[in-house]
Structure 1
Amino acid sequence: MLSYSSYMLTAVAALLATCHALHECPQNTGIPEIPGLSERGGLPDSLDTKAHNVVVNLKHRLSRLEGVLTLNGKIRKVGDKIFASNGKKVDFTSALGSCEEAGGTLATPMNEEENKAVLSIVKQYNQYAYLGIKEGETPSQFKYINSMPLTYSKWHQYEPNGKGTEKCVEMYTDGSWNDKKCNFYRLTICEF
């Protein structure tokens, strides 16, 4: 049986391919053109209608699937991000690997609303979780795992305090953050 992430990735890939074929992808999405499709000048009307119906059906099914999973507490959706956990506790490298294998990355709250969404999963499992944030070359200077500087933080009082010895970041069950060594087992929460 395919996992939720596999279904989502398959559906999104189909949706993107269809929107490219119809030349109806939203502007400024960063979605690259698919070679061969844009030069054809569109599809015949019969295929155009079928493709449109497929897109509408996929959107409806994805929406229903997200709704069911949200009701079951399996995912949290905030803006364009979806946060989800497999409930497993592993070290930082394994957590990041699991998220990337599923087509996402470790949860990286970039504002209070996203932090609350991640916190709701942390509370559900009553476990601390790793975040997609690591210490940079300079001690106590933390960055997102894509090396961009932090634009939002929610450090616990007197944190970070590892001064180069605690390279990873965990979320406490109150939503605040703590720098931590990367070899502890923490809850895996991914974002897509």
Structure 2
Amino acid sequence: MLSYLSYMLTAVAALLVTCHALCKCPGIPGLPGIPGSLKGQPRVPGLLGPSGSLMGLPGRYRLPWLEGLPDSLDTELRNVLVNLKHRLSRLEGVLALNGKIREVGEKIFASNGKEVDFASALESCEEAGGTLAAPMNEEENKAILDIVKQYNRYAYLGIKEGEISGQFKYINGMPLNYTKWHQYEPNGKGTENCVEMYTDGSWNDKKCNLYRLTICEF
């Protein structure tokens, strides 16, 4: 189980990702007109897009109960979201300053500092609402490397060998679109199914039952 502090850090990281998604538009610009609650009341910029969805978010984020909000409630909700974005940005800055998280694009990387086997590392990340860190470009690989260097420990990546020997994939089954193999790696030939990151940022195929640093992405 994660310690209380580790749990809080990873939970905050997940919350930050959610905040990023909710606050895509600078200043939370309003959405095409929420109808007023009174007949004849003019339409004003609001927080909802078509069909009661938040601007910039897919349909599953529809909030039909917000449709038809009066002007006063629309303004209040807008202020709450702006304040939430501001407070989370401050908290994000504190965590980044203390080396607890690394941000790249839409991803946040964080570690609980624990060394466990691959299955336990993956379980810890999923329980916190994320998954094992899996770099998809050089920038993400460098962000993960920063955490590896901080702890000076090799870390598991969210990559495993597929059914074909020597063919590695992301743990969601998608083919790799970026690699950083160490020289002459991978060389396990079907006997080393997991992937670890060295302290120089390069990758090595390794057995999955060894203890390596847990780094999650959210």
Q: Normalising by structure 2, report the TM-score.
A: 0.78
Other-structure match for 1:141: 167
Q: Which secondary structure does the structure 1 equivalent of 2:60 belong to?
A: coil
Q: Deviations over 1:20-43 (max 9, x none)?
A: 99325343x445143xx3376342
Other-structure match for 1:95: 121
Identity rate, percent: 71
1:23 paired with 2:80, answer no
Moved >6 Å (runs of 4+) = none
Residue 176 of structure 1 is aligned with which of 202, 206, 217? Answer: 202
Contact kept, 8 Å, 1:23 with 1:42, in 2: the verdict is: no
Question: Aligned pairs, how many?
Answer: 186
1:6 paired with 2:11, answer yes
Unmatched tracts of structure 1, length 5 or more: none
Contact kept, 8 Å, 2:13 with 2:101, in 1: the verdict is: no
Residue 135 of structure 2 is aligned with which of 97, 109, 120? Answer: 109
Other-structure match for 1:32: 60
Q: How does 1:34-49 map to 2 (within 5 A)?
A: 34=62, 37-38=63-64, 41-49=67-75
- Residue type of the partner of 1:32? R
**1:89 & 1:31 partners in 2: Cα distance?**
39
Q: How does 1:76-87 map to 2 (within 5 A)?
A: 76-87=102-113
The RMSD of aligned alpha carbons is 2.3
Unmatched tracts of structure 2, length 5 or more: 23-27, 32-45
From the CA coordinates, give the structure whose radius of gyration is larger. 2
Distance 1:50 1:33, change over 3 A: same
- Residue type of the partner of 2:81? V
Distance 1:30 1:147, change over 3 A: farther
Could you tell me how far 1:121 is from its partner in structure 2? Answer: 0.3
Q: How does 1:147-166 map to 2 (within 5 A)?
A: 147-166=173-192
Could you tell me how far 1:9 is from its partner in structure 2? Answer: 4.4
**1:106 & 1:65 partners in 2: Cα distance?**
23
Other-structure match for 1:186: 212
Q: Which secondary structure does the structure 2 equivalent of 1:60 belong to?
A: helix
Q: Normalising by structure 1, report the TM-score.
A: 0.88
Could you tell me how far 1:93 is from its partner in structure 2? Answer: 0.4
Could you tell me how far 1:90 is from its partner in structure 2? Answer: 0.3
**2:146 & 2:98 partners in 1: Cα distance?**
13
